[in-house]
């Protein structure tokens, strides 16, 4: 009953809001998300003031997520209310601040009464509309941050937590247990603290990212002076020759662009060697077209050599461990390197002068949000095969999932350490009705005519 006695505008400085400030990864891939709003439900983890808590499920495989910090705190640092990562780049606060050399840390107090007062003051001024200085909009993106930023939403963080009973071997719930039955990944990265992450001090994930950024070098030009061609990998059907031209024209005159869609790659040839080197230097870790991070390497003549940069590979291996920051294109390139040249050569038309083509990357549509079928649009052939598979029971599910485009990979392929296959999920928004139950076959009665 107490809540009915509260006034409309909380003079105590309690916060009310209409929609949470969240990033794409936390919102999820489902366009039909259903969110509940509870006013003053919890206290902010940073400033401990009551605020409006929103709770929703970011997708089928996801646990329920709710906003953890209030909007005031999230606006102060321009972070998502749930994951406390930057809204624009998806990076931890410490990484973003060091990369962009912002330092608002002195202004924000961290001790008890001080921080509550500061938060309230800020809130009051923001509501009054005056003096709202948010430096985040004005800062220009620089090189480092472009290299480090996350380009696609990362839904793996929305998975259910690991079942703590399973770790001890005692989970009696079995199949209906909603938690993940995997062994947890422990290590230095697991000791994270929400306050440290928010204020940008002592964050182990940020340290790791910054170290990796420090070691990222530009690719070295090859010894053979006649090579003026750059290999661009990780392409998608949406990326056109015009897109490549737009990105590469600035560095010099382009002699030719050859796209090999079969291998999801392209070769950009410049007229001069210097232009190619300049392009390589400028774009090497930063090439992002239409949200897709592309890999840039030097092209090679047809005599294949055993692979280059052992160091680059090693660095990239290390980077893979960090929550999948590395784009899939790079990982698949890595894995594809040791392929013998003969197999690729067969599939390339002979006049192709440059050979630096690793096998086709595994993922065509990389994320469910890129796959039109999942967003509710009906694709008749796929749908037909999908619904005809379903009544056959769970045993058939694996073949059903195999038929779907690779975009379902994140759902259909088992996690590396998972105990069970992920089930096949029909697309969001529309469930085709099951076929009517098969009637018993009645032997036709022979009636005398």
In this structure, what token pair is assigned to residue 241? 């020759």
Part of the chain binding other proteins (CB under 8 A), chosen from 11-19, 148-156, 179-187, 390-398: 390-398
Interaction between residue 415 and other proteins (CB under 8 A): no
Please name which of 293, 216, 283, 295 lies closest in space to residue 251, comparing C-alpha atoms: 283
Part of the chain binding other proteins (CB under 8 A), chosen from 113-121, 247-255, 321-329, 386-394: 386-394
What is the rounded distance in angstroms from the CA atom of residue 192 to the CA atom of residue 186? 11
Q: CA-based Rg of the chain, rounded to a whole angstrom?
A: 27
Interaction between residue 449 and other proteins (CB under 8 A): no
Task: Residue 260: count other Cβ atoms within 10 Å of its Cβ.
Answer: 17
Identified binder of other proteins from the candidate list 18, 106, 176, 224, rule CB under 8 A: 176
Please name which of 165, 212, 441 lies closest in space to residue 323, comparing C-alpha atoms: 212
Please name which of 68, 51, 67, 48 lies closest in space to residue 111, comparing C-alpha atoms: 48
What is the rounded distance in angstroms from the CA atom of residue 67 to the CA atom of residue 292? 28
Part of the chain binding other proteins (CB under 8 A), chosen from 71-79, 147-155, 167-175, 399-407: 167-175
Interaction between residue 351 and other proteins (CB under 8 A): no
Identified binder of other proteins from the candidate list 342, 434, 443, 448, rule CB under 8 A: 434
In sequence order, the β-bridge partners of residue 35 are 56
- Closer residue to other proteins (CB): 53 or 326: 53
Whole-number Cα distances in Å, 367 to 50, 319, 328, 408, 412: 36, 20, 11, 7, 12
- Closer residue to other proteins (CB): 174 or 338: 174
Residues 35-64 that bind other proteins (CB under 8 A): 36, 60
How many amino acids of this chain bind other proteins (CB under 8 A)?
15
Residue tagged 């099951």 (tokens):
434
- In angstroms, give the least distance from the CB of 320 to other proteins: 30
- In angstroms, give the least distance from the CB of 14 to other proteins: 23
DSSP state of 247: H
Interaction between residue 175 and other proteins (CB under 8 A): yes
- Closer residue to other proteins (CB): 367 or 411: 411
- In angstroms, give the least distance from the CB of 386 to other proteins: 13
Please name which of 207, 231, 216, 332 lies closest in space to residue 285, comparing C-alpha atoms: 216
Residue 226, helix vs strand vs coil: coil
- In angstroms, give the least distance from the CB of 342 to other proteins: 45
Judged by the rule CB under 8 A, the positions of this chain that interact with other proteins are: 34, 36, 60, 172, 174-176, 178, 390-391, 394, 423, 425, 431, 434
């Amino acid at each position: 009953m107490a809540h009915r006695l509260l006034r409309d505008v909380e003079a105590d400085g309690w916060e009310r809001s209409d929609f949470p400030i969240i990033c794409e990864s936390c919102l999820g891939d489902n366009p039909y998300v259903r969110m509940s709003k509870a006013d003053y439900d919890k206290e902010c983890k940073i400033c401990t003031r009551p605020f409006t808590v929103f709770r929703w499920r970011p997708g089928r495989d996801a646990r329920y997520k709710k906003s953890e910090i209030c909007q005031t705190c999230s606006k102060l640092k321009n972070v998502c209310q749930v994951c406390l990562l930057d809204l624009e780049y998806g990076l931890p606060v410490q990484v973003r601040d060091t990369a962009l050399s912002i330092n608002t840390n002195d202004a924000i107090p961290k001790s008890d009464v001080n921080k509550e007062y500061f938060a309230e003051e800020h809130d009051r001024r923001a509501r009054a509309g005056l003096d709202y200085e948010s430096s985040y909009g004005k800062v220009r993106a620089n090189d480092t941050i472009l290299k480090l930023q996350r380009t696609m939403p990362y839904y793996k963080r929305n998975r259910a937590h690991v079942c703590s009973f399973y770790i001890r071997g005692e989970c009696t719930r079995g199949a209906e247990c909603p938690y993940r039955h995997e062994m947890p990944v422990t290590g230095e990265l697991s000791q994270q603290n929400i306050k440290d992450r928010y204020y940008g001090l002592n964050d182990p994930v940020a340290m790791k990212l910054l170290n990796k950024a420090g070691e990222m070098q530009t690719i070295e030009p090859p010894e053979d002076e006649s090579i003026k061609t750059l290999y661009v990998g990780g392409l998608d059907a949406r990326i056109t020759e015009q897109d490549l031209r737009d990105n590469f024209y600035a560095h010099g005159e382009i002699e030719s662009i050859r796209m090999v869609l079969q291998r999801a790659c392209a070769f950009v040839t410049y007229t001069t060697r210097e232009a190619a080197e300049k392009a390589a230097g400028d774009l090497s870790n930063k090439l992002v077209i239409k949200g897709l991070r592309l890999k840039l390497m030097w092209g090679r003549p047809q005599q294949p050599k055993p692979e280059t940069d052992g160091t680059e590979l090693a660095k990239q291996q290390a980077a893979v461990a960090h929550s999948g920051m590395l784009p899939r294109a790079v990982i698949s390139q890595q894995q594809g390197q040791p392929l013998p040249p003969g197999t690729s050569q067969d599939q390339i038309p002979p006049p192709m002068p440059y050979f630096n083509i690793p096998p086709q990357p595994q993922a065509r549509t990389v994320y469910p949000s890129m796959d039109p079928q999942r967003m509710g649009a009906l694709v008749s052939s796929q749908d037909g095969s999908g619904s005809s598979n379903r009544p056959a029971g769970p045993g058939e599910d694996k073949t059903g999932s195999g038929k779907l485009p690779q975009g379902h990979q994140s759902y259909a392929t088992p996690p590396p350490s998972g105990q069970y296959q992920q089930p096949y999920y029909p697309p969001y928004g529309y469930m085709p009705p099951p076929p009517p139950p098969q009637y018993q076959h009645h032997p036709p009665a022979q009636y005398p005519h």
